[in-house]
Structure formats: structure tokens, C-alpha cells
Amino acid sequence: MYQSVLCSTGIFLYAGGKDNSGNGQDGAIVSFSINYSTGVLTELPSSPLITHEWQPWKVLADTQTRFIWSWQVGLNRGIVAYDITPGTGDLTPSAFFSQTDPDYVNAWVEDHRGKYVFTGYIGWDFLNGKPGVSSWPISGNGDLLSQTIFFTKNPIGSVAVARQSPN
């Protein structure tokens, strides 16, 4: 994998990138269980999940361990959702796809309540593109609903959600 991007659900770790064993266009998401006593990672029996004609450049795990999202590059750029099987960590592709062409998702994070994914992006034309931050509501099945875009003057390199104390 020439670009390895990790995300963790606390129980499982997922890494996305290029599949070097395929045709050069495919990608893969490799899944591991985490042993917190030793720090040892064990690849899951169902791993890797080959993403045909797409290379997952960024992966994001749902804070409630329900699904992961992958921003993938291939014929088009877009976000794809995968369901996480409880207990096993196996990934199942969902029907969800949201094209992000011509923009690149540069950073993303899920809020602590599991209601929104926030993305920072840059335009394909780095000098004349319109960078910004988007807010995506999360449906009950992991689909990211229509995004609301907030334009910024500069490309977004990272995003974070600050959590306030409930007291």
C-alpha cells in the first residue's frame, strides 16, 4: 500500500490503500483486531477487502462501531460506506456512494454523538478552486445525506471536533 490511512473503532483497526497484488487500479482495506494487553494486531480472516477500480485514500470509523467510510479515488472520486459486522469486524459494502469530483477530501472527522461527518476539502484546481468544510448528516444505515458546504479562503488540511463537558 503506497498510502496507508488508519482508523480505529477501539476494537478493530482498518487500513486503506492500493492493492499491489491486483491490476494496479484496485485498492484494499485491511482489517485487524487489536489486543490492548500486548498491542498486537491480528489480521481478520475476511481481510483484505478488495475495492475494485477504487483506491481508498482515507478511511474513517464510526465512533459507535457501526460502519466505516472510505474516500476512494479511481474512475471518480467519492465516499463509500461499509457496514461493520458486530463482534467480527467484517466489512460489507453498502449501496451508498457520494461523488466528490472534482474535489479532494483532505480531512474528516465524525462528531462525538455519531450524527454528522465533517469534511475539509480542496478543489481540483488548487489556485482557483473553492476550498471549504462540509457537514454531512449520517442516516441510520450509514449513508451520508446531503452535505452543507461552508466555503473558506484557504484549503483545509485538518478538521477536529471539540467536545464540551456535559455538566
| DSSP state, residue 144 | B
What's the confidence (pLDDT) of residue 1? 36
Quick: pLDDT tens for 61-84.
887 778 888 888 777 678 888 888
| Better pLDDT: 167 or 4 | 167
pTM of the entire predicted model: 0.75
Residue 11's SS3 state is coil
Residue 106: pLDDT band with limits 50, 70, 90? confident
AA identity, residue 116: Y
Residue 42: pLDDT band with limits 50, 70, 90? very high
| DSSP state, residue 115 | S
Cα separation, 132 vs 137, whole angstroms: 17
Taken in order of first residue, the domains within the chain and their CATH numbers are 5-151 (2.130.10.10)
Q: What b/e string do you get for 118-145 counting C-beta neighbours within 10 Å, with b at 16 or more? A: bbbbbeeeeeeeebbbbbbebeeebbbe
Would the pLDDT of 116 be above 80? yes
Question: From the CB of residue 157, how many other CB atoms can be counted at a distance below 10 Å?
Answer: 10
